[in-house]
Amino acid sequence: MIDATEVERALIGKLAADPALGAALPDGVYYDVAPIGATKFVIVSLSTSRGLYELNDAETFRAFIYVVKAVALGPAGDTVAAADKRIQELVDRQPLDVTAAGASLMVARWVDRIRYTETANNDVWQHRGARYEIMVTPA
Amino acid sequence: MPNKLVLGGFKELRDELVAFPQTVNRESVPILERYARATQAEVIAAYPIVTGELRAGVKVLQRAARGVATLITLITSAPYAHIFEFGSRRQRPRPTFLPISERGRRQGVVAVADLVKSKGLVVRGAND
């Protein structure tokens, strides 16, 4: 059995351990939502997932598509642009240790881009990143 | 009497092959449209009602594309649909449109692949 939570922990752990990403977005890497007060952070969330039931009743692989985005307060996009680039360097077609999930990695890859600006209470927030597919198979 | 082997039907075969893309296109459009409408209904049902904009923004667009292709696109056009899908600075993402639409697209592709298979061709990768 593949433990999906451990796949997420592996992804978040890899991003959180990177010094360059931590320097750009020092408030941390969070699943779904960041704590109040955070102004420069990374969000990881599950966008969609699937198995292939034709193959061994979906036990052959699981594919998880995660949103991984840099979020920062301010009108300038420099910080999120650098962070987005770094996230891509860390995840796209790179290794990911999913041993704790009872799995091994088949592929981690960039799927499509996410970029938008949010305005709220006279503040401007930049959101930039991508969806990434993490495909794993039982170890 | 000289031996003679006559192979016929080439013109008919050629005519069928030439017409094949148009035939498949004509028959696959209603299939894809049916899946698009079903997916649209599923997305609309999954969106909450606050102002009604999210649900009203889910539309099916159909237009001719290059060659014999027909493009059927499901869109979510509310101005904050991306915020709903991917989250705001304080609100968690609520993935709705993408999971449902991607599943609907896969199902539509498989249905068209079945149509092509029913005409005697082999289709690979329809589940990808």
For the stretch B85-97, pLDDT in tens is: 999 999 999 999 9
Instruction: Give me the number of domains chain B comprises.
Output: 1
Residue numbers of the domain that contains B44: 32-115
Q: What is the pLDDT of residues B2-61, one digit of tens each?
A: 788 887 888 887 887 787 778 888 888 899 999 999 999 999 999 999 999 999 999 999
pLDDT of residue A31 exceeding 80, the answer is yes
The answer to whether the Cβ–Cβ distance between B86 and A69 falls below 8 Å is: yes
- Using DSSP, how many helices (H) and how many strands (E) does chain B show? 4, 2
Closest Cα partner for A42 from A63, A65, A59, A67? Answer: A67
pLDDT of residue A96 exceeding 90, the answer is yes
Interface test mutation site (partner A, options B86, B91, B114, max chain A beta carbons within 10 A): B86
The answer to whether the Cβ–Cβ distance between B89 and A114 falls below 8 Å is: no
Per-residue confidence band for A10, with pLDDT thresholds at 50, 70 and 90: very high
Residue of B nearest to A128 (CA): B86
Contacts of A41 (CB under 8 A, 6+ apart): A25, A27, A28, A29, A30, A34, A70, A71, A72
Domain assignments of chain A as residue spans, ordered by start: 4-138
Does some domain include residue B18?
no
Question: ipTM score here?
Answer: 0.86
What SS3 class is residue B23?
helix
Does some domain include residue B128?
no
* Residue entry with tokens 């704790």: A100
Per-residue confidence band for A58, with pLDDT thresholds at 50, 70 and 90: low
Does some domain include residue B124?
no
Is A34 touching B (CB cutoff 8 A)? yes
**Chain B residues within 8 A of A48 when measuring between CB atoms:** 95, 98-99, 102-103
CA gap A139, B16 in Å, rounded: 49
Does some domain include residue B27?
no
Task: Pick one of 3.40.50.2300, 3.30.2000.30, 3.40.50.300, 2.40.37.10 as the CATH number of A4-138.
Answer: 3.30.2000.30
